[in-house]
Structure formats: C-alpha cells, structure tokens
Amino acid sequence: MTDGMTNQAYYDTIIVGAGISGICAAYHHMKQCPEKTFIVLEGRGTLGGTWDLFKYPGIRSDSDMFTFGFPFSPWKSPKTIADGKSIMEYLHKTAKDFGIDEKIRYHQKVVDASWNDGEKQWSLTIAPHGDAGGYILKCKFLFMCSGYYNYEHGYLPKFEGYEDFRGRIVHPQFWDTELDHAGKRIIVIGSGATAVTLVPTLAKTAEKVYMLQRTPTYISSLPSVDKFAVKIQKIFPERMAHGIMRWRNISISLLLYKLARRYPEKIGNYLRAQAKKRIGPTYDEKDFTPPYQPWDQRVCFVPGGDLFKAIRSGKAEIVTDHIERFTERGILLKSGKELEADVIVTATGLDLRLLGGIQLNINNKPLDPGNHYVYRGAMISGVPNFAFAIGYINASWTMKVDLTSRFVVKVLNHMSKNGYTVVTPTMAEDRVTPEPLLDFNSGYVMRAEKLLPKQGNKHPWKIYQNYFRDFISLNLETVRDKYLVYKK
C-alpha cells in the first residue's frame, strides 16, 4: 500500500476481495488498463480469501492445479491436487511478482455500495477493521470479487441435544488449530469436499474416524502427481508447459462432465466400481450411491485415493444414516445405533452469500438481486458500471473468473476509447425464461436460491458451465450488442 493510495479517495475501479478472483482481476487491470487507477479492498488482514480462512487439517484444492492456478502465473509443481499451504504460497508469490500486493488495502470492510445516476459513480462505505462508521471511497466502476459464501459463519442444521454432547464440537470453517485429535474417536458429519478431505487426514493419527453422511456423494480418485505433467515440464519452458497442461486438463474435465451428463448411469457405475476396487471387502454400495446423477452435485476428488485407503485400513468408516439426536457420548442415529466420539466435526456446508453481504443501492433504492438477471455470468441487469466474479460449479473456479476479468477490462477499454461513462446490461424486449443462477442441487445452493439473481434460457443471459463457450462469449465476441447499453 503506497502513500498515494492512502491519500486518494476516488478511483476508476474498485475491486472488492483479495482472494483468487481479486488477484486475477487486479492482474488484468494492471496488464490491460495500465492508465486506470484502481485498488483492491480486503476486509481481512491478508490475501487468499478461502485459502487464508480455512485452517482445517488436510485442506487442499478440489480440482487440478493447472486449471485452478492462474494462466499468467505457471504452477510449477507436478502435484495434481495441492495442499492449502502450497496454494497460499502460490497466491502470495503471484501477488508479489506482479506488484498486485501493493494495490491491496487490508482490514477495509465494505458495508454498502450506492450508485448515483447524477454523479455517474459508486460511493462505497468503508468500515476499517470492521468498526462502525468509517469513510467513503468513490469509483466509476465496481468489480465484486468477494466469493459466494459467508465468511462469518458456516451452515449448521439444528440438531436435537446439541448441548448434551460432553466432547468437543468444531466447524471446519473455524477450526481450532490447537485441537489435539490424536488417538481420539471422531465423527465428521458431511459427505462433501471438506468431509472427504478431513477424514483421511484425521485417520492418520485418530483412533477411529466416522464419516456420517445423510446422502452419499460421487467420489473419484486422482493421481497425486501427474506423470504427463512431469514429462511436459522437462521438455518445455515453464510457461508453455503450464499452458499445455492447462488446456489439456480443461478439455479432459469438460469431456468427462459431458459424458457424465449424457451417460449418467454408466459413469455412476464406473465410479462405484472404482471405489469398490480400492476399498475391498468392506465396501458397501449404499455408501456410494447418491439419489442423484453425477454432477447434479459436484463430484469429490481424492488424491491417490487417500479416503479409500483410510477406509480399507479400518481407521475410517462411512456411515449412511440420519441423525436422531446428539447424546452425551456421541450421536444417536435413526437406525438406533449410537456412534461414540470425543470430537464431532460439523462439515455441514456453507452459508451462501453473494457479493460478500454488501447492500447495493441504485439511486437510493436497495437492490434485490433476486429480481434481476445475470449478463454473460459477469454483470447484473439494470445495474450500471458493475461486474461480479463467480466460478464454475463443474470445473476450477479460476477458469471462469479469469475470463470474467478479461471481459471486464475489454468493456472498460471500449468505454474509454469511445468516451462512454456508463454501461448497463439491459433486458431489451426479449422474452427470457427465468432459471436458477446455479443449476446445482447442493444444499447450500438450494437454501439461497431466492437471494441470487437469475439466469435466462438463452444467450447472453444463460450460464452454460462450459469453458469453451465462455471463452468465445467473454474473450472473443464483441462487447457491443443490443443488451449492453453505453451512455456518454
């Protein structure tokens, strides 16, 4: 943070959030709009977003690092799935290498943001260190890169008898790093990415770990190290090798997603067969048979099959049942069985909150996102000079936010070149059938559906969850169409 930044109160662009999305947005602003002033506002004390917040054992990426990493900052390790510490080191190095760290203001929580047609600018109320009051920053364009869930608390269902349990209860989002779990009996409630990460890690030192799930998840194993990546990195320069691996993995992941949607029964059977092969005689099909098709919810990837190995060793066990209540000793299940534990981990999901919980106001009227549509998955209908970054549900988050960031700077440069001061996505007169923003039936998405803007059933209001289609739409197509209304 420079003195010039401290004294300045007006910017061309303000980026909110210094996680993966914010770092990506800042890079493209510096690269493509070097003449424009901008800052990145971060409510926490360091960059990294999710990867700084979560401290639970074994935290790692849930997709391969060649697509999860930035296209402009090569991932040099042959690791397919990276641990949280490695990801944080990568993010810090990227921010430092490109001078992005100098653009970030920490402990600057944005309370609300108001657009004024007369002034043609946004006014942001900033609360330093989260305190009440604060000060105002103004900008021409607002780019929200704050993720899509609540950092202040996770989702916790109401469990009867919750207070009766005499052991320790911990939520992964607020893991106590001083917690001693060695030699303990542990119940991990959940079946998503957090649970399948925690269970094999805890099982290394715990007496026994139960993964208690109400609904099974599709789980697939990935190699810990990509042998093809090792060969490519030896042959080509690092940036070229990274590009080759990135496009190769993007193509493979999209192909597998398409196959899963077209042949769900065959892909489901294949995933179960792989789990059975790795677990052996203790495999129980009901633990790996979700009541939905592959990619109706995200498939969980486990590097080197570590979850399957933990189950095969007997140190971990999957229990598919419903919770009747918490007891003094553990959890009583609907089946009548009681699981005893010293520690219960509530990996029960996220509390989805778009735009970091910031209230948007347009000409002194509060904006209800649920009444608006998304334009190319990057802007919101009727909201001037505004964009937001949200990643894929079927692939790496970074792939989509990189395309969105490229699109935003294209719009900004087009405005500068032609003397425009305002751009607003407009529905025109098209008839669009509303659809949920995220075509995903995960619990955290279903709970927040009414709070999110909608997508439509056709371009440019449709979100396709397809990198190649988005690459054309956001990176190659013109930013001049009848839906983007520019004004001088």
For 113, 245, 406, the CA distances from 356, given in Å and listed in that order, are: 12, 33, 22
* 181, two tokens: 């779990």
Residue type, position 81, single letter: I
384: pLDDT confidence band, cut at 50, 70 and 90?
very high
Q: Which residues pair with 187 in a beta bridge?
A: 210, 344
41's CB contacts (< 8 A; 6+ apart) are 14, 15, 16, 17, 18, 105, 108, 110, 124, 126, 137
List % helix, strand, coil for the chain (3-state, nearest 5).
35, 25, 40
| Domain-wise residue ranges, the chain | 3-152+351-487, 162-346
Burial class (CB in 10 A: 0-12, 13-18, 19+), 457: exposed
Class of domain 3-152+351-487: alpha beta
State the pLDDT confidence band at 2, using cuts at 50, 70 and 90: very low
Helices 238-262 and 227-235, axial angle in degrees (round to 10)? 150
pLDDT tier, 4 (very low <50, low <70, confident <90, very high otherwise): very low
117 CB neighbour count, 10 Å cutoff: 11
Contact (CB, 8 A) for 18 and 96: no
pLDDT one-digit tens code per residue, 104-124: 999 999 999 999 999 999 999
> Which pLDDT belongs to residue 130?
56
Cα-based distances in Å from 280 to 177, 219, 275, 286, 320: 34, 16, 8, 15, 18
Contact 378, 388 (CB under 8 A): yes
Q: Are 186 and 205 in contact (CB under 8 A)?
A: no
Domain 162-346's class?
Answer: alpha beta
pLDDT tens per residue, range 302-316: 999 999 999 999 999
Q: Do domains 3-152+351-487 and 162-346 have the same CATH topology?
A: yes
User: Per residue in 196-221, pLDDT tens?
Assistant: 999 999 999 999 999 999 999 999 99
Contact 43, 67 (CB under 8 A): no
Q: What is the pTM of this model?
A: 0.91
